[in-house]
Amino acid sequence: MTLTAISWDDTAGRDGRGAVRLIDQTLLPGTVVDRVTDTTDDLVEAIAVLAVRGAPALGVAGAMGVVVAMDEGAREGWDEARIQAAVDRVRNARPTAVNLAWGVDQVRPLMGHGRDAVLAAARQLAGEDEAANRELSRLGADWLLARIDRPRLRLLTHCNTGSLATSAWGTALGVIRELHARDRIELVYADETRPLLQGARLTAFELEQDGIPHVVQVDGAAASTILRGLVDFAVVGADRIAANGDAANKIGTLGVALACRDAEIPFMVAAPWSTVDLSMADGSGIEIEERSGDEITSLGGVQVAPEGSAGFNPAFDVTPARLVDAVATERGVAEPRSGQDLWSIAP
Ligand code: MRU
C-alpha cells in the first residue's frame, strides 16, 4: 500500500474545482480513510486535530491551502481581503512547524497569476519534498555507517517521520528505510509518543508495511534502552531547526538526546531544508504549541486522571545544538555539537 498523506484531487471538490485529499491520521492504523477538504475551515480543523500532521506534510497543506482559499473565495464571492485572511488562518493553524508558514509563503506570491499557477507550484513543492527526503536519507545513512561499526544497526526513533509526515518517503524514517534497503537494520525501537501515539499508531504501521523489524516501547523506556546499550544511535525528525542547530521536535525528543549524549552514541536530526529557519539564531524563540490538557488526562476518550487534575501538554521540545551530533538535510550533513552550524551548509 502506498501511503500518500496529502495530495490535490482535481475532481473531488464542489463545482469541480478540486480539493485536498488527506489520509485521516486520527483513525490510523485501524481505519484507512481519506478526508476530502475544500473549505478553509475544514482544512484548519484537519490540521488542528492532526488529521494531517508532520512538518513537511504541513508544508504541502499550507501550499494547497492557498488554492483552497482561492477556490472557496471564488465560490462564495469573497473579496481579496477575505481570501487573504483565510490564507492567514491556514498559515497560523499550528505554530511550531515552520514548514506550514513556509509552504504558504512559497506559493502566496503567485496568487496574482491565478489559482492554476498556485496549484502547479504547490504540486511542485510536494514533488521536491520527496526528492529532498530521499537525498537526505541517503546522506544521513552514509554519515551513520561511516561512524558505527556493526553489520546491522539497532536504533531508536521518536514520533512519526515517514510517508505520513511528508509528501513521501520520510525524513528520520527515510534514513531508516534507506538503511533497511542496504540490509543494515537489526531492530528499530519506536517510542509510542504520548499523548497522541504517533509512534505506536503511525511509525509502527509504516515499519510493519515495509517489513522492518521493530518493537514499540513506552516513551519512558527510551533513556533506559539507550543506557543499557541496546541501540547504536537515535534518529528523529524536526519541526523547526534554528541556525545554530537547536531543533524543535515532538515532546520527549530532548530526553532521547540527553540519554544519547550520556551513552556517547550519535543523536541525528533528519529534516529537509524547508524545516531549517535561519531567521532564528537559536531555538529560544521557537513557539511551542500547547495543546489541550484533556489529551493527557484521558486515554482514548476515557478519563484516567482525577477530574480535578489539569493536564500540561506542550507538544514539542527544543533539543539544544550541543546535544545534536548531526543534522542530515538534502544539502549535506551539519554537525552542530562540533560547532558546525546550519549556515555551513546553507545555499
Ligand atoms: O504533532 P505532530 O505529529 O505534527 O509532530 C510531528 C513531529 O514532531 C515530527 O517528528 C516532525 O514534524 C518531523 S516529520 C518528518
ipTM of the modeled complex: 0.99
What does the mean pLDDT of the chain come to? 97
The confidence score (pLDDT) of residue 15 equals: 80
Q: Which three cell numbers stand for residue 213?
A: 523489524
Residues 17-69 pLDDT 10s: 899 999 999 999 999 999 999 999 999 999 999 999 999 999 999 999 999 99
Ligand 1 atom nearest the C-alpha of 316 is 8
State the fold for domain 133-345: Rossmann fold (3.40.50)
Tell me the CA–centroid distance for residue 220 and ligand 1, in Å. Answer: 19
Residues of the chain with CATH 3.40.50.10470: 133-345
160 burial level (CB within 10 Å; 0-12, 13-18, 19+):
buried
Cβ atoms of 75 and 82 within 8 Å: the answer is no
Quick check: 187 pLDDT over 90? yes
Percent of the chain with pLDDT over 70: 100
How far, in Å, CA of 73 to CA of 61, rounded? Answer: 18
Instruction: Identify the CATH assignment for 6-128 out of 2.40.50.180, 1.20.120.420, 3.30.450.20, 3.60.40.10.
Output: 1.20.120.420
Sheet of 153-157, strand order: 214-217, 185-191, 153-157, 233-236, 267-270, 326-329, 332-334
Give the binding-site residues of ligand 1, using a 6 Å CB cut-off: 50, 53-56, 97, 159, 161, 165-166, 171, 198, 237-239, 249-250, 315
Cβ atoms of 103 and 59 within 8 Å: the answer is yes
The confidence score (pLDDT) of residue 105 equals: 98
Ligand 1 atom nearest the C-alpha of 53 is 4
Q: What is the DSSP string of 162-228?
A: SGGGSSSS-SHHHHHHHHHHTT-EEEEEEE--TTTTIIIIIIHHHHHHHT--EEEE-GGGHHHHHHT
Q: How confident is the model at residue 233 (pLDDT cuts 50, 70, 90)?
A: very high
Residues of the chain with CATH 1.20.120.420: 6-128
Residues 88-141 pLDDT 10s: 999 999 999 999 999 999 999 999 999 999 999 999 999 999 999 999 999 999
What is the mean pLDDT of the segment spanning 222-246?
Answer: 98
Percent of the chain with pLDDT over 90: 97
Tell me the CA–centroid distance for residue 75 and ligand 1, in Å. Answer: 33
The confidence score (pLDDT) of residue 73 equals: 97
* Beta strands, E only, the chain: 6-9, 19-23, 34-37, 153-157, 185-191, 214-217, 233-236, 240-242, 247-250, 267-270, 276-277, 298-299, 302-303, 316-319, 326-329, 332-334
Residue with cell 529560544: 284
DSSP state of 161: -
Ligand 1 atom nearest the C-alpha of 170 is 15
Cβ atoms of 1 and 209 within 8 Å: the answer is yes
306 contact partners, CB below 8 Å, separation of at least 6 = none
CB-hemisphere CA count at 13 Å for 196? Answer: 25
Q: Which three cell numbers stand for residue 273?
A: 531544508
What is the mean pLDDT of the segment spanning 189-212?
Answer: 98
Tell me the CA–centroid distance for residue 250 and ligand 1, in Å. Answer: 6
